[in-house]
């Protein structure tokens, strides 16, 4: 049905909240087996559950692997093809000015550590967005 690299989505519900998760098929799990131990996050707590009697898929949403029910999966667009990818990219200067205003508004006691963390995180996210956009442009030719 799906192969590694396909984009899929499914509805997930937890603690009364439902949301749509979208990710890339990272592995095809053969019938009667469980996901490979490379996906160690699935093996925390009560392990990852019993082996399934049908082909299933490990789906990676950003960096987190999931082993959703196949009956809930449906084909999806990649994140790069979605309308959200066409929004203008925020510039680091905008993020820094917002963070500085926030620090001034909320007092210097919160500013230092939180501001540094917020700026580091914003730089990281912006780099990821630019790289994602560049890969999409290269793929288009």
Span 15-39, pLDDT tens digits? 888 889 999 998 999 999 988 877 7
pLDDT of residue 129: 76
pLDDT band of 125, cuts 50, 70, 90: confident
Please spell the DSSP secondary structure of 81-140, one letter per residue. Answer: GSGGGGSPPPPHHHHHHHHHHHHHHH-HHHHHHHHHHHHHHHHHHHHHHHHHHHHHHHHH
pLDDT per residue over 36-89, tens digit each? 877 777 777 665 678 889 999 999 988 888 899 999 999 987 665 444 445 555
Nearest C-alpha neighbor of 19 from the set 81, 66, 84, 80: 66
Q: Name the region of 130 (left: φ>0; alpha: ψ -120 to 50; beta: rest).
A: alpha
Report the chain's C-alpha Rg in angstroms.
Answer: 20
Q: Is the pLDDT of residue 100 over 60?
A: yes
Cβ-based neighbours of 35, under 8 Å, separated by 6 or more? 27, 29, 42, 48, 58, 65, 67
The DSSP 8-state label assigned to residue 76 in this structure reads -
pLDDT of residue 82: 47
Please spell the DSSP secondary structure of 12-68, one letter per residue. Answer: EEETTEEEEEEEEEEEEEPTT----TT-GGGGSSSTT-PPPSS-EEEEEETTEEE--
Question: Looking at the DSSP assignment, which residues form a beta bridge with residue 75?
Answer: 8
Domain edges within the chain: 7-76, 83-140
pLDDT of residue 140: 76
pLDDT band of 110, cuts 50, 70, 90: very low
> Comparing 135 with 95, which gets the higher pLDDT?
135
pLDDT of residue 81: 46
- Consecutive H or E run containing 7: strand 7-14
Integer Cα distance of 39 and 59 in angstroms? 10
């Amino acid at each position: 049905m799906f192969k590694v690299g396909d984009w899929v989505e499914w509805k997930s519900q937890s603690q009364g909240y439902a949301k749509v998760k979208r990710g890339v098929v990272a592995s095809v799990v053969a019938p009667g087996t469980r996901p490979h131990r490379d996906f160690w996050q699935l093996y925390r707590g009560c392990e990852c559950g019993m082996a399934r009697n049908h082909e299933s898929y490990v789906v990676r949403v950003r960096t987190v692997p999931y082993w959703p029910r196949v009956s809930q999966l449906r084909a999806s667009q990649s994140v790069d093809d979605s309308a959200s990818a066409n929004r203008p990219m925020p510039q680091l200067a905008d993020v820094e000015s917002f963070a500085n205003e926030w620090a001034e508004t909320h007092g210097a006691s919160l500013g230092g550590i939180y501001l540094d963390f917020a700026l580091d995180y914003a730089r990281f996210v912006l780099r990821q967005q630019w790289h994602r956009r560049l890969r999409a442009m290269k793929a288009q030719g």
